[in-house]
Every structure is written in C-alpha cells, then in structure tokens.
Amino acid sequence: MRDGAVSLWGYGVSVTVSRGHLVLVDGVADERRTLRLSKAERPQRITVVVETGDHVSLDAIRWITNTGTSSLVLLSRSGAMLAAIGPRRIDDAKLRRAQALALWSGADLAIARHVLATKAAGQARVLAAHPNFATAARLLTEAETRIANAESLDEMLILESAAAVEYWAAIATLPVTFARRSRDRVPDRWTMFGPRRSPLTRGNRRAVTLGNALLNFVYALLEAEVTIALAAVGLDPGLGVIHTDADANRSRSTFSKRCDPKQTGSFSTRSQDGDSHTKKPSNSLRET
C-alpha cells in the first residue's frame, strides 16, 4: 500500500473478508502477493484491474463501504471503468434537482465556460513547455479567451474541438523513450505518441500506440475518481451539461474530468466513447 492506495493486477485476483480483515490477493502464476488489512489500516482507494476468474466478494464491498472513507475501483484491461464504489456523504434531493435543471437555469453555460476554458489553458501550458509548439500554444491561449467570452454552448464546443485538433496534432509528434535495454524489443510505432484516434475504433478506445494506451488507462482512473467524488457530495455522475444523454453514459464524469489538467498533464479529450457532443465542429483555429 502506497499513499493510502492499493492496486491489484494479474490473474486470480481476489478481494475477500476473513475474520474481520480485508484480504487482497494478486499476482501471476507462483508469484503471488497477499495483503491483510484491518479497519484501522483501511486504504483510501483499492483499484482492481479485472480479468476472467477474478473475485470481489459482497462481504468485501460491504467492508470497504462501511469504513466511510475507502472506495473500490474496478477497471478492465482495455482501460474502461467497470465500477466505482465509494462513500456517499450527502443525500440532498434539492441538490440533484438543481443539477437536473442546470440546462434550463443558465448554470450549464457557466459550468461549461469555466471547464472548457480551463482545459484550453492547461493544454496551452503543456505546449508552451516545448519550443517547437509555440504557434499551437498561442492558438490554444486564444481559444481559451474566446471560450471564456462565448455566448452559447455550440460556440464553446466548436472552439474546444478546434483547440483539441491543434493540441493532439502537436502531441502526436512527441517521442516516447524507453530504457536502453528494452529498446530492441519495442515496436517502432511505440516510439512516438501518435494520433489520438485509433484506426481500430475511429475513436480513442483500443489505442494502437503505447502513449495513447497509457493515457486511456489514466483517464479511466480519473473517471473513477470523479465519479466517486460526485457521488460523495450528492451529485449524479450521469447528468452532464455537454455530452448528449445516452444509456449507461456517465456524462458528468467524462465532462468534469476535463477540468483536472494537473492530474493528467492536461491530456484532455472529449468523451471516452468518441464524439458525443451535441454538435460536431469542423472549423480550425487557424481559419478563425
């Protein structure tokens, strides 16, 4: 356990309870790890990368939720969040009603303006750290200003998407370095960050480059963190103000994570499922 977090991976992973202790087991083949935790040693976060045959018992879920501070995150090997279970500290119907009515109260524009402008600013800072990306950084700084002054959600989305095109075009050219002893075993396509869109899905899922695959995994972790945080303060992770409504789509989770550039190095995209905006923009910042 490091900094209150435990990560489990491998085959035959199990999360169970024995004699009042949480028992965590992971590893591959004969290289197994076992950790027993009392409630006094409760971790803040348990992350499990789920494979066929893994086991999380109902008693373990009850043990985790009863601590009042711990949470459980289940991720697939493809980088998708399967479940995020955490404490719910506030249960206020008036708060959820205000969230649901944000589209009609005008709060949606204020939220979107703040989040999208913050995203563009974070991306601009990332690019500004690279001398070769000065032009793209300037364009994103301009996009931040224009988003902050935009009068409609459609206008914000057009600017945000155009900024994303500039950002990912620059990031795609970044090299990905490896230890010298591993270089001969690394495919050439892994040595560059590469385009954000995967040729397998025409979206962000199932990345074919290492940089984007790692990014997808980090996004799944961040989506889980946001989902848990929203539920803890009494909000519904399924009610957002940017992405279109869809079954089983955690709109606010995938929307809110745009606002957290520090944890992800400002690597922000639209939605985990590809283009799910209400309007698909096509213009470029270089043309506006």
Interval 110-152: pLDDT, tens: 989 999 999 999 999 999 999 899 999 999 999 999 999 998 9
Alpha helix ranges (H) inside 149-245: 153-171, 210-232
Residues of each domain in the chain carrying CATH 3.100.10.20:
5-85
**Candidate from 39-43, 53-57, 161-165 with smallest mean pLDDT:** 39-43
Question: pLDDT value at position 262?
Answer: 42
| Contact indicator for 102, 115 with CB cutoff of 8 Å | no
Q: Report residue 109 as tokens.
A: 């524009």
Average pLDDT over residues 213-238: 87
How many residues are there in the chain? 288
Average pLDDT over residues 184-204: 87
pLDDT at 21 over 90: yes
pLDDT at 204 over 60: yes
Q: What is the Cα–Cα distance from 60 to 72, expressed in whole angstroms?
A: 10
Structurally, at CATH architecture level, domain 95-287 sits in Up-down Bundle (1.20)
Average pLDDT over residues 73-79: 83
Percent helix, strand, coil in the chain (nearest 5)? 45, 20, 35
Question: pLDDT value at position 278?
Answer: 39
CATH for 5-85, among 3.40.80.10, 3.40.50.300, 3.100.10.20, 3.40.50.150? 3.100.10.20
Average pLDDT over residues 49-58: 86
Q: What is the Cα–Cα distance from 139 to 132, expressed in whole angstroms?
A: 14
pTM value > 0.85 = no
**Cβ-Cβ contacts under 8 Å for 37 (sequence gap 6 or more):** 1, 21, 22, 23, 24, 43
Residues of each domain in the chain carrying CATH 1.20.120.920:
95-287
Q: Report residue 285 as tokens.
A: 């910042």
Average pLDDT for the chain: 82
